[in-house]
Structure 1
Amino acid sequence: MNIKNMVTIKSVKTILVVFALAVLAACANTAEDFAKAGDWTSVGYSDGVRGKPHRTAGDFKEYDGVNVNDYADGYLKGVQEYCNPNHAYQIGLSGSYYEGVCEGTADSQKFRMEWQRGWNDSQLNQ
């Protein structure tokens, strides 16, 4: 297998991964759906796994019975998944902006570098 074929296969795999993530995101419930259902762990997880900043109880003032502890537990689990540096390149390549939620984690520098590499590549392809 020559280098050109390897690059083409890698490009196809990258496109398929980005497409799969987009389809999953489109099918997923939104944080607001979970909030309406009172599932605060899922609200937090949804925010965290998408790399969104941690919300406060005031952000949910239109909802009754906000459980900030459940939200925080879910958020932590979501951020742990999001901050995996092995996925950071794909996040950047997809054009998703990084909002700094991985700062303070063990792999924050590696995550940021891989995200930046993907982001730079996404900007070249526009």
Structure 2
Amino acid sequence: MNLNWKPISMALIVVGLSGCASMSSEECMTSDWAAIGYEDGARGYTTDQITNRRKACAKHGVTVDFAAYQSGREQGLVEYCQPGRGFSVGSNGGRYNGVCRVDLEQDFLEAYNAGYHLYTLRSNVNRASSAINSKEHEIDNIKEEMRLKEAALISDETTTEDRVLLLVDLKDLSERIGQLEAEIQELYEQRAFSQAELDNYQVALLDAGY
């Protein structure tokens, strides 16, 4: 498969631990370490997870069954290191911890990179939409501010000096609206381009079997 994305390096940053490594004395003594290892492996966790658990249990004078944990984790990693999971992790913007065996990693990374590129293209579209909404909201606020200043401008209570200042403010606000409208137009063009990229890539993914 030859999809056009920038590959993610195998030496990716390791994510922080998602599970809670703090354990009570009872948990340390009664835990099924093989099952815990399997769960950690199936989630793509690094060995930092068991390191923290070992430290927590050591405080209670309990030694973790590392062999059982490692055996379970290796089985869990086989489940995690599948192309389907790699694509899912990547398309949701997740990070790969570099935990897969060499014989599984190539296919996993290929799928992960495909998914992550999809995530990037979707993010480009969403980011443009968010920026458009933000600037349109700013325009609405400016128009309301201008309405209030225009009302003050024609008020009998407004002094000549204040009217001059209000006219300056209204001119500045009007120019700001013009600037925002130009930026919004550019963002619409960017979003259209990003959407076209996304649409084309989704077709390529379907052709590639994703």
Q: How would you bin the TM-score normalised by the shorter chain?
A: 0.5 to 0.7
Name 1:46's counterpart in structure 2.
39
1:119 equivalent to 2:116? Answer yes
Q: Given the alignment, which residue of 88, 92, 95 partners 1:94?
A: 92
In our comparison, the structure showing a higher alpha carbon Rg is 2
CA distance in 1: counterparts of 2:120 and 2:112, whole angstroms: 12
Q: Report the counterpart of residue 108 of structure 1 in structure 2.
A: 105
Match of 1:73 in 2: 71
Q: Is residue 45 of structure 2 the alignment partner of residue 62 of structure 1?
A: no
Unmatched tracts of structure 2, length 5 or more: 1-18, 124-210
Q: Secondary structure at the match of 2:76?
A: helix
Distance 1:102 1:87 in 2: 12
Conservation of the 8 A alpha-carbon contact between 2:91 and 2:118? yes
Number of residue pairs the alignment of both structures matches: 96
Given that 1:31 and 1:47 are in contact with CA atoms closer than 8 Å, whether structure 2 keeps it comes out as no
Structure 2 CA distance for aligned equivalents of residues 74 and 114 of structure 1? 24
CA RMSD of aligned residues (A): 2.4
Which consecutive unaligned segments of at least 5 residues does structure 1 have? 1-29
Question: How far did residue 54 of structure 1 move?
Answer: 2.2
- Please tell me whether the aligned partners of residues 48 and 54 of structure 1 are also in contact (alpha carbons under 8 angstroms): no
Q: Report the alpha carbon displacement of residue 55 of structure 1 after superposing the two structures with TM.
A: 3.9
Q: Give the conservation status (yes or no) of the 8 Å contact 1:89–1:116.
A: yes
Percent identical among aligned pairs is: 28
TM-score, length basis structure 1 = 0.65
Q: TM-score, normalised by structure 2?
A: 0.41
Question: For the residues of structure 1 that align with 2:101 and 2:69, how far apart are their CA atoms?
Answer: 19
